Amino acid sequence: MPSGPFLFGGAKRGSFVSDFNKFTHPNEEIENNIILKGRVKAVETNTYGLFMVFFNEIQRTVEKLIAVASHYSSLYEIDPHLPWYTLEEYLVNLKWKGDIAVNISLDLQNYMESSLDRDRGHELFSLIMNNESTKIESLLQAILIKPLSDLYLQIETDSEIVSKKEMEAIKQQRDRIRPKKKKPQPTPVQFSVRGADIVDVDLVLAPVSGIPIQELLIGEKIMVKINGTSTLGDYYIDSFGARIEGNIIPVAAQVVDIKRGAEKEYYILCKLGEKVYGKAIESEPIKLKKYDELLAPHNTTDEISKEEQSGRGRRFVLFVSVTGGLMFALLLLFLILWLNNYL
């Protein structure tokens, strides 16, 4: 069961912090951070998330937000009731090591930041201060359904109040004892298609019936979602009719190239339409949704159908040519044998 906010050693600490601060600094206004910690499980897509939201107590606004997602269930084993500095260390290490689903993590972080920017942020802050854990999780569920593409979410949260001075002291101490590390920056895999646009896409998952990414072959058709964070991506979402009532729907794509990066991540290039390609990066052993004509917008299915029809037409012409050539050769041979017998 998620415990209430302001926990320290299993006891409520809101009044304790306040009284201690008044006693030690009677004439000083103490600034605090309200920290919401949580984990989420998307049941249908087997996606797991971990997040922290730092609120400024005076301004009642979000100062910082960290969120990551993964298809490994080990992420969901990290307890949100851990102290804020321990949980933050986990999140930083996960990002540093790359043990996350990069595209989903970016979507999750960006969507949470935009959703909590104003009214919903104030609402969430009030719910935390009033210790309304059920309403907190209901509000988060409404926010997280879209970036996680799943209606069935399990959410667990906890919260703390920490003075800014205390937080700064812990961070300084942690920085002193933490060894200086620099993550090597591998050269990213690049795709280039002459005269064509390449946009970022997110792979659509199908944990039960999908194609394992390690078995994906060039020429196979899968479902993807065009990423709308760029101007070009946003343009092609509308161009392919992939936006319905503000929601981005999957489009059909044909795999044209697959590469592996320095850290064994997959780089997938797929064709969306005439002179339009999508690029996806995935570091986890996921299963991809196969091409589904019922889900894809008509103009993307038409594009693939045209290519299929064109391919069938070329194969038919080749078949007729070969068959005709063989028939002519047999007829010529029969004619030569008949002439030899006759003469």
Helix axis angle for 164-177 and 84-97, nearest 10°, is 50
Residue entry with tokens 């104030």: 122
- What does pTM read for this prediction? 0.59
The span from the CA of 123 to the CA of 299, in Å, is 41
Give 42: exposed, middle or buried? Use CB within 10 Å, 0-12, 13-18, 19+.
buried
CA atoms within 13 Å, Cβ hemisphere of 168: 5
Q: What is the pLDDT of residue 122?
A: 92
Strands 197-203 and 276-282: parallel
Burial class of residue 260 (count of CB atoms within 10 Å of its CB; 0-12, 13-18, 19+) = exposed
Distance CA 300, CA 292 (A): 11
Q: Which two tokens stand for residue 270?
A: 């797929």
User: If you search the block for the tokens 């030569």, which residue do you land on?
Assistant: 336
Q: Where are the beta strands (DSSP E) in the chain?
A: 7-8, 11-12, 32-42, 47-56, 61-70, 153-163, 197-203, 211-212, 221-226, 243-244, 247-248, 251-260, 266-273, 276-282, 287-288
Q: Which of 19, 86, 107, 32 is nearest to 63 (CA)?
A: 32
- Reported in sequence order, the residue ranges of 115-220 that DSSP labels E, i.e. its strands, are 153-163, 197-203, 211-212
| Distance from C-alpha of 295 to C-alpha of 257, rounded to nearest angstrom | 23
**pLDDT per residue over 217-263, tens digit each?**
999 999 999 998 888 998 999 999 998 888 889 999 999 999 988 87
In angstroms, the CA 341 to CA 343 distance is 6
Token pair 């080990």: residue: 74
Q: How many CA atoms lie within 13 A of 49 on its CB side?
A: 33
All structural domains of the chain with their residue ranges: 7-177, 197-300
User: Do the strands 251-260 and 266-273 form a parallel or antiparallel pair, or are they unpaired?
Assistant: antiparallel
Q: pLDDT 10s digit of each residue in the chain, 343 long? A: 344 444 433 333 343 344 444 444 445 566 888 999 999 999 988 899 999 999 998 889 999 999 999 988 889 999 999 999 999 989 988 887 777 888 888 889 999 999 998 889 999 999 999 999 999 999 999 999 988 988 999 999 999 999 989 988 888 887 776 655 555 555 667 788 888 899 999 998 888 888 899 999 999 999 999 998 888 998 999 999 998 888 889 999 999 999 988 878 899 999 999 899 999 988 888 889 988 755 555 555 455 555 555 555 566 666 667 777 788 778 777 777 766 776 6
CA 64 – CA 212 distance, rounded (Å)? 36
The tens digit of pLDDT for each residue in 86-131 reads 999 899 888 877 778 888 888 899 999 999 988 899 999 999 999 9
What is the distance between the terminal CA atoms of the chain, rounded to a whole angstrom? 103
Residues in Cβ contact with 219 at an 8 Å cutoff, skipping those fewer than 6 apart: 254, 255
Q: Which two tokens stand for residue 133?
A: 């854990």
Give the residues across from 259 on adjacent strands. Answer: 267
What CA–CA distance (Å, rounded) separates 158 from 139?
14
